[in-house]
Each structure stands twice: as C-alpha cells, then as structure tokens.
Amino acid sequence: MSLQRRTWLSQAAAAAWGLTAGAGMPAHAAKAQAPLAGAPPRQRLAPGGIALLALGPAGRRPEVRTPAGVPVLVTGDSRQWTAVVGIPLSAAAGEAQVQVLSGEQDARVVRYRIGRHAYAEQRLTVAPGHVELSPENLARHERERAHQAQVIATFSQPWPERLAMRPPVGGVASSSFGLRRVFNGQPRSPHSGMDIAAATGTPVTAPVAGRVIDTGDYFFNGQTVWLDHGGGWLSMMCHLSAIDVKPGDDLKVGERLGAVGATGRVTGPHLHWSVMLNRASIDPALLLFEWPQASR
C-alpha cells in the first residue's frame, strides 16, 4: 500500500470512527489540564513542538530556513533574535538544524536536538473495508489536499509582534494533540490539532490578529477558515456551522469568524484547531495564555 493511500485511509478511518470529532477522547473523559507553565511561546523539543533558538544580536532580522528551504519565523530585536521553529509531528528524534543568513555574516547552521514526547496512544480494532472512500470522494479529497498544500505555504509580513494566543472558543479541550492512533495494529497519522468540545453555534474567534487566507467546505474538515498571523504562523478552524468572514478580511484578536459545528467527517460538534509554524502543525497549547474554558 502506498504512503499516499495509507494517509487518506487513516483519515477516513479516523473519521469513520469519530476520532476527528474528538470522540476518541470525548469531553467527559478528558482529564483535567495542568496549568500552563510560563508565558508563551513555550519550547518543546519534540515532534509537534517548538524549538526556540537564540541567534544573538544583529542589526537586521536574520533570515532562517529549514533544511527543506521553508522560511522560519524570527522574533526579537537587534539585541537578541530568536528563531521559532515548528517541529513536524513526523520528525525523527535526534539532531536537527536550521540555516541562518544574517546579512552581516556568512550563512551558518544552528543545531538543536529533537527529543521525545509521550503523546497519548489509542488502539482500535476496526472491520477491514469499513473505511473505503468512493472514487468520487477520493478524487475530491486529492484535489482538496493539493489546494490545502498551497494555503499552508503562505508566508507573509508584517511579522507578528508577540507569539501568544487566546482560546478561539469556550469549551472543553482534551489532550488530543499528537494522539497516536493504531488501527488493527497499524499506526496511522497522529492527530494534528486541538479539539475543543462546544455546542453548535458557539462563537469561534480569532486567537490572535490575522488575515483570512482561505475559506471553504472540505470533505474531511467541513466548513473551514484559515488565518495568517504573519511569518508563516497560521491557524486552521474546522467543522464550522457558519463562516462569517471571507478571504482578505483582517481580524483583530477576539473577533468572530464563525461558529462551532459538525460539518465534514465528524460525529459531533467541536472545533478542530490546528496551528502551524513553517508549515508544521504544532501543539496549540504551546502558544496559549490559558486553556479553553467552558464558561466563556
């Protein structure tokens, strides 16, 4: 079975079994969240985490790229610049690096080490053949995936001022980011966002200022809004019952963009929220001021 085929099967399987709905870790089963220690952004040197790499002083903001050439977000000022590197969930533990072009010195390499993080694991036995997509739906999903890859490649300026986010919805968040799913003994792609359980119609707001760069109704993700926060920092909000914005709209933090729903391949209403840095989905909790709360 090709990797590509496995990828859509895994998403289909997850959808068919309600896992994208957060039903794998339903709200009533979610364990209480530990308080978030320290101010965002928080470092986690593990897949799905963030590496904060001190680059030293420089008169101009250095240019930083991943080994694949993807531009990396850089914050700070002339006294100290910091690269904020998203570590893909698919990254292997071990040595990693970025390339730095300061404009004042020759290009150099900054190394860091990716460790491990104990994400939850869920093992399920499912009937073979239950998760097949029709040829039409498969073709649709392939088109939508190509479109999404273009959206994810967005890198714009101005640079964000502060890397911190507010919960985009009041609700109950489970520890769902990074959840490793194993179907019939075969590992599937891990869960790449935070699921927040809330009733249909609950307002969804911008977690930080941003520009709407895409809206649509997608096979797996349902009604979706993408926000660009600058510097390759993006948010994706899925399964919405209503979309109140259009591409090009500039939103302030806390401004409404839509409402919680159950559109796409889900079994119940919730917000799926993905956050990306340099095209890598990272744990949104690393950038949150506080956990989502049901009574907002």
Footprint on this chain of Zn ion (rule: CB under 5 A): 193, 195, 272
Query: Which CB sits closer to Zn ion, 195 or 283?
Result: 195
Give the nearer residue to Zn ion in terms of CB position, either 160 or 193.
193
Q: Which is nearer to Zn ion, 193 or 230 (CB)?
A: 193
Q: Which is nearer to Zn ion, 193 or 258 (CB)?
A: 193
Q: Is the link from the previous residue into 158 a cis peptide, with omega within 30 of 0? A: yes
- The nearest distance, CB 272 to Zn ion, in angstroms, is 3
Least distance to Zn ion, CB of residue 205, Å:
18
Centroid of chain to Cα 268: 20
| Cβ distance to Zn ion smaller for residue 173 or 277 | 173
In angstroms, give the least distance from the CB of 171 to Zn ion. Answer: 13
Diameter of the chain measured on Cα atoms? 60
| Residue of this chain nearest to Zn ion (CB atom) | 272
Residue closer to Zn ion, measured from CB, 27 or 45: 27
Distances (CA, A) of 52 to 95, 145, 163, 186: 15, 30, 12, 33
- Shortest separation between residue 20's beta carbon and Zn ion, angstroms: 5
CB of 2 to Zn ion, least distance (A): 24
* Backbone φ/ψ region at 287: left (φ over 0), alpha (ψ -120 to 50), beta: alpha
Shortest Cβ 174–Zn ion spacing (Å): 10
Of 190 and 193, nearer to Zn ion (C-beta) is: 193
Task: Report which DSSP code applies to 151.
Answer: H
The total of other beta-carbon atoms located within 10 Å of residue 126's CB is: 12
Nearest distance in Å: CB 274, Zn ion: 8
Smallest separation, CB 211 to Zn ion (Å): 23
Pairing of strands 94-101, 63-65: antiparallel
Q: What is the DSSP string of 56-122?
A: E--SSPPEEE-TT--B-EEEEETTEEEEEEEPPTTPPSEEEEEEEE-SSS--EEEEEEE------EE
**SS3 of residue 271 by DSSP:** strand
Of 82 and 221, CB closest to Zn ion: 221
187: closest CA among 20, 46, 10?
A: 10
